[in-house]
Each structure stands twice: as C-alpha cells, then as structure tokens.
Structure 1
Amino acid sequence: MPPMRALETCLYVDDLDRAEAFYSGVLGLPLYSKVAGRHLFYRLEGSMLLLFHPQASAQPGDVPPHAGKPGGHACFAVAREETDAWQARLEAGGLTITRYAWGDRGESLYFHDPAGNVLELAPASIWGLPA
C-alpha cells in the first residue's frame, strides 16, 4: 500500500470569532464551513484545517467527541521564495515571528494564533519533499 497523506489538521481554539479574523484575515485562508460556537473549517491545498471550540466538540454527536486545549502545532507549506513576503505580511498583522534556518533546505516562520497554537510556514524542502 502506498504511503498516506494527512487529510485533516485539527486545532482547538477558545474564541472562534478571533480565530476566524486571524485565519481568514491575516492568513487569507478560504473559509469552507462554519457552525457558530462549534467549528471553522478551511480548505487548504489537498487537505483541510479544522478549528474546533473544545467544549463544543467534546459533546456527543454523530461523530465521536474529541477535545483538546489550545497549544497545538501545525505547519503550512509555502513556496520557498515566498518566505520573506509571508514574514512581512505576518508582521504587518502584528505578529511576532521566529525565523529558523534548516541549513540549505529552507527556513521556517513560527508564530502564534490568537488561541496560543504554534503555527509554522515552511517550504516542503525542509523535509526533503518536493514542492
């Protein structure tokens, strides 16, 4: 069987309105689905980003309940040549950026979302993967 790929990345946020302003506004991600008080879903290239309010997603329903705390980590792939432009955009949005170089494989930009999750933007080359 071939290797799998991640289809969904799930993070927990304690304020969905602030999360929507950040992910839609600062990052510019397209909102796919929204249920007030429960979740925001964003369509990425080949996968989905799921943002849940932990108290709402812990309730029994059609799918198994799940919950976590803000403080997770997700990395979004960006083109290597866009790193500087992304840093400028994020700093213009008031974010503090930690930039880390992975030798000649590229650089990562680390920052926090409003809930405290650590986000990273990096080229796939940091893992030796094709763009």
Structure 2
Amino acid sequence: MSALSKVIDPGTRIGHVHLKVADLDRALAFYRDVLGFEITQRYGSQAVFLSAGGYHHHIALNTWESLGGSPPPRGTTGLYHVAIVYPERAALADALRRLAAAGIPLEGASDHGVSEALYLSDPDGNGVELYWDKPSDQWPRAADGSLTMSNARLDLADLAAAAPA
C-alpha cells in the first residue's frame, strides 16, 4: 500500500467549524441563545468562539471578511451544512423544543436509520444539521454487513415527547 492510499487514523476527528457571518450579534443570538453554546472567547465585535462543555471551541464566528455580507447564491460551491451531534435523543428533543420556542423553522427532519436529524439554516443561510447517532448495534445493515442508511420521515411528535421536562 502506498503512502497516498493509506487510510486516515481512526482517532482523527473534526475539531471545529469556523463560519464567516454578516452580523456577529445576530449569529450569536442563534448559536448561543437558541442552540445553547457557551462563549469561551470573544474578540471584540469581530469574532467569538463557542463551545459545549468547556472545550476551547466547537464553533467560531467572525466578520473579518463578511461584515454586512450576503449568503452565497444557491448553486455555488461552499459549505452544505455543519452537523452538530447530540449525545442522546433527549438532548436532540430539547434542541427541537428550543427551535420551536425561537420560531426557527425546520427545512427537513429525517430518520437515517443510523441517526435522527433536524435540518435548518442559521441566520446567515448556512445549513445546520442537528442529530444524534443511534447505538451502532441498531444501525441497519445489509447481509454483507454494509450500512443501509435511509432517508425516512422523522416523527417529530415522537421526538418532542423525548424532551426532558
């Protein structure tokens, strides 16, 4: 096997996403106030780092090259969505409750067999997926062991019922 065809180390992970936004306070109102991320560092009126659980940052927002800008037009390349994984179904249900309370519409909701996912856009038009992974022993598999992911409709009422009181 050549060095170029070697697979990536299985311990590799995505560390954070850094988004260009038009209005820092508007983006912060979404990621902090609606989704619940905490500020770990702020760089004046130009950038802010946010995290869950005290990590240095999972999401960074900045206006360095985008202050007052508009989202990229549809049909162009760029970020499709950022996916935020929740540790359990109840946490995803709480996110659904937060979105509803803030009046933020969903653009989709799917049961992929391996996960349940909510799809929406942030205030700058960036795609956001909120999801939780089902336990791997419940993932649907073909006879050869390969995954058979799907795109079934997610029962939102059932998910909402899983939200903590």
Does the alignment reach a TM-score above 0.5?
A: yes
Q: What is aligned with 2:41?
A: 33
Task: Kindly indicate whether the alpha-carbon contact (under 8 Å) linking 1:37 and 1:56 is maintained by their aligned counterparts in 2.
Answer: no
Greater relative contact order (CA < 8 Å, ≥ 6 in sequence): 1
Ranges in structure 1 where 5+ consecutive residues have no aligned partner: 58-68
Task: Kindly indicate whether the alpha-carbon contact (under 8 Å) linking 1:38 and 1:56 is maintained by their aligned counterparts in 2.
Answer: no
Task: Kindly indicate whether the alpha-carbon contact (under 8 Å) linking 1:80 and 1:106 is maintained by their aligned counterparts in 2.
Answer: no
Counterpart CA distance in 1 for 2:16 and 2:94 is 26
Counterpart CA distance in 2 for 1:5 and 1:116 is 25
Match status 1:52 vs 2:48: no
User: Which structure has more helix as a fraction of its residues?
Assistant: 1
Greater mean deviation of Cα atoms: 79-88 or 116-125: 79-88
Q: 1:124 aligns with which of 117, 127, 133?
A: 133
- Amino acid of the structure 1 residue aligned with 2:34: V
Q: Which runs of 4+ in 1 moved over 6 A?
A: none
TM-score, length basis structure 1 = 0.73
Q: 1:96 aligns with which of 95, 105, 112?
A: 105
Q: What is aligned with 2:155?
A: none
Structure whose alpha-carbon radius of gyration is higher: 2
Counterpart CA distance in 2 for 1:30 and 1:9 is 15
Q: CA 1:85 to 1:55, structure 2 compared with 1: closer, same or farther past 3 Å?
A: same
Aligned residues: 116
